[in-house]
Amino acid sequence: MAHGMIIVDEAHCKGCALCTTACPQQILEIDTQTLNDRGYHPAHLADPAGRCTGCAICAVICPDACITVYREARAKQGGGKDA
């Protein structure tokens, strides 16, 4: 399994939670402690176990394009696409 991570742009996130339900690893959650200046609770990665695969599913469903997805390069090579 590839190793990945995501960063949520908290200022743009509207806390819709679509990413949290879409993530196959169930490692995204809404941060009810934080409120951005539009009054939304943003999503954040809660991945203590490092389960994020960098599959980008969260980014594909995010209506506010506020998720950036990273993945370790070798994973990509593993996918044979970068040859």
Partner 1 sequence: MMQALREPTAEMEVIYQHPAALSECRTHYCPGCTHGIAHRLLAEAIDELGIRERVILVAPVGCAVFAYEYFEVDGCEAAHGRAPAMATGIKRSCPENLVITYQGDGDLASIGAAEILHAAARGERITTIFVNNAVYGMTGGQMAPTSLLGQKTTSSPAGRMATLTGYPLHMCELLSGLQGSTYIVRRSLHDVRHIRQAKKAITTALRVQMAGLGFGMVELLSSCPTNWGLTPEQAMGWIETKLIPQYPLGDYKVTDEAKALEKAG
Partner 2 sequence: MKVECLFSGFGGQGVMFAGQLLAYAAMDAGLDVTWIPSYGPEMRGGTAHCLVVIADHPIGSPVVMHPQVAIVFNGPSFDKYEPLVAAGGLLVVNSSLVPRSSTRANLTHVRVDATQIASQLGDTHLANMVLLGAALTARPLLPLPAIERALDAHLPERHRHLLAPNKQALAAGAEVLTSP
| Binding window for ligand SF4 (CB under 6 A); candidates: 31-39, 54-62, 75-83 | 54-62
Q: How far is the CB of 17 from partner 2 (least distance, A)?
A: 16
Q: Which two tokens stand for residue 45?
A: 């990665």
Instruction: Collect all residues with Cβ–Cβ distance below 8 Å to 81 and sequence separation of at least 6.
Output: none
Site track 50-69 with partner 1 (rule: CB under 8 A), x = hit: xxx-x-xx-xxxxxxxxxxx
Secondary structure of 17-50 as H, E, C letters: CHHHHHCCCCCEEECCCCCCCCCCCCEEECCCCC
List of residues contacting partner 1 (CB under 8 A) = 3-5, 7, 9, 11-12, 14-18, 21-22, 38, 40, 47-52, 54, 56-57, 59-74, 76
